[in-house]
Amino acid sequence: MQWLSFPEGENGTMEEASRTQASSTARLLRRATGVLGHALRGSRDELGLVESAANWLWRRVRVPVRTGMLGAGLAAFLLAAAPGKARAATDCLACHADKSMTDASGHSIAVDGQKFSASIHGSLQCNSCHTDIKGYPHPDHPAPVQCRTCHVDEATALTGSVHADGKEHPCTSCHGDPHAIFPKTDARSAVYPLNVPRTCGNCHSNDGMAKKHGLPSVYPSYMDSIHGYALTEEGLLVAANCQSCHGSHNILSHKDPSSPTYKTNIPKTCGNCHAKIDTEYEAGIHGKALASGDLKAPVCTDCHTAHAILQPTEAAFRMQSTPICGSCHSDKFTTYRDTFHSQLGLLGGYVETARCWDCHRAHDVLPATDPHSSISKANLVTTCGHCHAGANASFVQYEPHANSRDLKLNPGLYLVRLFMNLLLISVLTFFVIHTIMWLIRSRYEQVKKNGANGGNHA
């Protein structure tokens, strides 16, 4: 390469023209490195080396011969020095950056270059995923992208899950646009905690795959629940979402013993967040029964449901809590309904009246024979005192589940009930007979009177 230097003040016109050409060359080089920077997308170290080399050349160029050719040559050199992935991305985006671009079927095949460069796949070459595309023109029917090539563990977990059918549940059904996939810690990700319910709700809602396969629509229930409100309204990322209970890739049916939503596993699943409550539950009679293999023992979802979970202090939950307990303890539920507590609650509006768990506690339920039980004789004054400030030893003699139909258990109450029922039956029977006889006599006298009046008229 030849370089010429003109004396200061001599041939000023040529020198000015040369400087203009050098400036044009600089602009061309800067444009080339700018294009290269867009293609590298995050390879800042490589880009820095290229720019440093260009700047070094610019500082030393005074008046190059054939500056246009030199600029083009340097630009070509810089692009040639770029990694293959940068050239590939630039070449592909030359067409696919067009937002209106579609394939033969009319499906969009446009790629947002900025989103792709910022995505988790931004450092990959296009043909890292589209392996059968080697150049242009492309094959008429490109081979499907195989995510399992890189994501082996996830693909293996997915194989045994309820989402194993790749046709109905491709990776993109959860992760979204493959060219704009972000880490799960990024708010733009479809699997970011705040976005998970909506992502799952695309299928598990009234109009999704749930309807097609006859599954319950759980998305609306979740959104109205305490978990859904805490997540979507309060923005609490620690609130339980679908993934918290069901997992992400290895999602199993609730009938599978390995599933976190299988009945025996539910306490531990809920205990991941509610650790203290899980400890109390396992110490209670219900938890011990479950641990011994009794699948009839209630777990979290039997009392709180799985998706439509309400705040326990809400009136709606308190009003339904007694029937929930009664679904297992039918004998106790029957006797409770005869009590003042139940009758007061049935009138409506009396939300604070005592329910089952006000006396027995909610999770660490223990039999009355256990000294730690809230209903043991030693603890009754304290338990009743939560509502009745003046409770004493005499006050707690009240029998909350007295059974007037059991002579052996409550003989006095049984006899009183029997006497009152006989008295009521006797009184009603007497007045029914009395009324009938009164009607007969009244009718007889009416006929007699009419007969007498007829005879006098004749």
pLDDT recorded at residue 440: 94
Residue pLDDT, tens place only, 46-59: 444 444 444 444 44
pLDDT recorded at residue 407: 85
CA dist 291 and 297 (Å) reads: 9
**Token pair recorded at residue 324:** 């929930």
- Residue holding tokens 């920077």? 37
Phi and psi at 108, nearest 5°, equal -65, 135
Q: At what angle do helices 67-81 and 12-40 cross, to 10 degrees?
A: 20
- Exposed, middle or buried, 345 (CB in 10 Å: 0-12/13-18/19+)? buried
What is the pLDDT confidence band of residue 87, given thresholds at 50, 70 and 90? Answer: low
Q: What percent of the chain has pLDDT over 90?
A: 51
pLDDT recorded at residue 60: 43
Taking alpha carbons only, the member of 225, 263, 109, 242 closest to residue 163 is 242
Residue pLDDT, tens place only, 308-334: 999 988 888 988 888 999 999 988 898
pLDDT recorded at residue 79: 42
Instruction: Decide: 62 and 8 in contact? Cβ < 8 Å.
Output: no
Average pLDDT for the chain = 81
Q: What percent of the chain has pLDDT over 70?
A: 79
In this predicted structure, the answer to whether residue 412 has a pLDDT above a threshold of 50 is yes
> Who has greater pLDDT, 137 or 175?
175
What is the pLDDT confidence band of residue 347, given thresholds at 50, 70 and 90? Answer: confident
Q: What is the mean pLDDT of residues 372-382?
A: 94
CA dist 93 and 113 (Å) reads: 7
Please give the model's pTM, rounded to 2 decimal places. Answer: 0.69
pLDDT recorded at residue 104: 81
pLDDT recorded at residue 55: 46
**Token pair recorded at residue 76:** 């070509």
Q: What is the mean pLDDT of residues 266-291?
A: 96
pLDDT recorded at residue 59: 45
The type of residue at 198 is: R
CA dist 71 and 103 (Å) reads: 38
pLDDT recorded at residue 134: 84
Cis, peptide link before residue 193, omega less than 30° from 0: no
In this predicted structure, the answer to whether residue 454 has a pLDDT above a threshold of 80 is no
pLDDT recorded at residue 194: 96
CA dist 421 and 62 (Å) reads: 120
